[in-house]
């Protein structure tokens, strides 16, 4: 298994990072996960632009152009013969003696690796359960930062409750999942939280928006509440690894009769069409 470190493809066993890397000590860095279907990255350009934007928001300078980065990632996918899975990449602020203030003249640490991951076929077909949880995270959730403790605590609570995902909320307003965006369907309209500082603007969320607009499915970016979720016709998650996954039960209350709804199923198909268009079958 090969990985990228410092711009080179090396054997995983030979990739090392210093114990004073700021990613390790502070979570001082940004990351992306891109799905690979049929040996090809899906929405690579969008992910790499978001990576660049996340890095800029915390003043990390990525020393590659998105197209250059894309070529390096393609090289790794080929080298590892990855057909279906994910490619993970992160940039940290680099290695430097521990100090909260940013170091000067330190190069970011870049690592990337691939992993074989199957599509979540059964949860996409049957739907998953979720709980509600207080969104205790910071106010810059738009940055895809390595600081994921709030997200981890939320996910762990869901797992302990025998559920797949935690639907986070600030007051009554639903923000997003622990590692996914949340949308509801009410009277045929797809509603999801506006892309502001309180959520990560998911690439899958943006794809859902695009296919809704192309197929005349009403799509609104506006706040909705816990009550709206409980009374929604349909609820679904979107994300790189979960794609479009129906939520069929929240806090033990069944949504859309406990089975995936029609709009959700339609969106799964439309997203699949996009995947086939970009990556083939
Ligand atoms: N919100 C959070 C907090 C996430 O971690 C993710 C998954 N990376 C998403 C939303 C979905 O984003 P995307 O569709 O780009 O994977």
Final residue belonging to a domain, choices 116, 139, 163: 116
ipTM of this complex prediction, to 2 decimal places: 0.99
Q: Is the backbone of residue 90 left (phi > 0), alpha (psi -120 to 50) or beta?
A: beta
Claim to verify: residue 111 and residue 201 sit in the same structural domain: no
Q: Is the CB of 202 under 6 A from ligand 1?
A: yes
- What is the reported pLDDT for 180? 98
Are both 141 and 103 inside the same structural domain?
A: no
Whether the CB-CB separation of 238 and 205 falls below 8 Å is answered with: yes
- Rounded Cα distance between 95 and 80, Å, is 28
Per the residue annotation, which of 116, 129, 144, 253 is the catalytic one? 144
Domain of residue 135, CATH code = 3.20.10.10
What CATH number has the domain bearing residue 14?
Answer: 3.30.470.10
Same domain, residue pair 152 and 269: yes
Same domain, 99 and 8: yes
Same domain, 13 and 130: no
Separation of CA 242 and ligand 1 centre (Å): 9
User: Would you say the CB of residue 176 lies under 6 angstroms from ligand 1?
Assistant: yes
Let me know whether 143 and 272 are in one domain. Answer: yes
Q: Which domain holds residue 92?
A: 2-116
Q: Which protein residue has the closest C-alpha to ligand 1 atom 7?
A: 179
Question: What is the number of structural domains in the chain?
Answer: 2
Residues 141 and 237 in one domain: yes
| Domain edge (last residue) among 99, 116, 133 | 116
Of residues 33, 226, 201, the one with CA closest to residue 131: 226
For the question of residue 144 being annotated catalytic, the response is yes
CB 192 within 8 A of CB 264: no
| DSSP 8-class letter at 266 | H
Q: Report which of 237, 235, 205 is spatially closest to residue 221, judged by C-alpha positions.
A: 205
- Residues 185, 112, single domain; the answer is no
Same domain, 131 and 249: yes
Residue nearest to atom 8 of ligand 1 (CA): 179
Per-residue b or e along 8-27, where b marks 16 or more CB atoms closer than 10 Å to that residue's CB: ebeeeeebeeeeebbbbbee
Question: Where does a domain end: 116, 132, 165?
Answer: 116
DSSP assignment string, 181-226: EEEEEETTEEEE--SSTTS---HHHHHHHHHHHHTT--EEE---BH
Both 140 and 271 in one domain: the answer is yes
Q: What is the pLDDT of residue 281?
A: 73
CA distance 240 to 258: 24
Q: How far is the CA of 200 from the centre of ligand 1 (A)?
A: 6
Predicted pLDDT of residue 117:
97
Span from the CA of 104 to the centroid of ligand 1 (angstroms): 31
Q: Considering only CA atoms, which residue is closest to atom 10 of ligand 1?
A: 180
Q: What is the mean pLDDT of each run of 10 residues along the chain (281 residues)?
A: 96 97 98 98 98 98 96 98 98 98 97 97 98 98 98 98 98 98 98 98 98 98 98 98 98 96 98 98 73
Nearest to 185 by CA among 264, 240, 258, 280: 264
Looking at the structure, tell me whether residues 242 and 160 fall in a common domain: yes
159 CB-near residues (< 8 Å, 6+ apart): none
For residues 34 and 143, state if they share a domain: no
What pLDDT score does 21 carry? 98
């Amino acid at each position: 298994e090969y990985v990228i470190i410092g711009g080179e493809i090396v054997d995983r066993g030979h990739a090392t990072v210093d114990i004073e890397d700021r990613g390790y000590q502070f979570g001082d860095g940004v990351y992306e996960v891109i799905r690979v279907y049929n040996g090809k990255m899906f929405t690579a350009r969008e992910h790499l632009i978001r990576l660049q934007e996340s890095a800029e928001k915390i003043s990390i300078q990525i020393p590659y152009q998105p197209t250059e980065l894309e070529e390096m990632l393609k090289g790794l996918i080929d080298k590892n013969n990855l057909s279906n899975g994910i490619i993970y990449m992160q940039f940290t602020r680099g290695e430097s003696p521990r100090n909260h203030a940013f170091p000067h003249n330190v190069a970011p640490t870049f690592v990337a690796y691939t992993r074989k991951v199957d599509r979540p076929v059964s949860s996409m077909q049957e739907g998953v359960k979720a709980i509600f949880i207080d969104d205790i995270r910071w106010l810059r959730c738009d940055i895809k930062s390595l600081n994921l403790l709030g997200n981890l605590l939320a996910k762990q609570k869901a797992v302990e409750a025998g559920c797949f995902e935690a639907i986070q909320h600030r007051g009554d307003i639903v923000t997003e999942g622990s590692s996914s965006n949340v949308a509801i369907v009410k009277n045929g309209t797809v509603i999801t939280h506006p892309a502001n500082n309180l959520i990560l603007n998911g690439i899958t969320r943006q794809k859902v928006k695009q296919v809704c607009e192309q197929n005349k499915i009403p799509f609104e970016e506006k706040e909705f509440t816990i009550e709206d979720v409980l009374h929604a016709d349909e609820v679904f998650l979107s994300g790189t690894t979960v794609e479009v996954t129906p939520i069929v039960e929240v806090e033990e209350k069944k949504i859309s009769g406990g089975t995936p709804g029609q709009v959700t199923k339609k969106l799964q198909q439309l997203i699949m069409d996009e995947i086939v268009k970009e990556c083939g079958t």
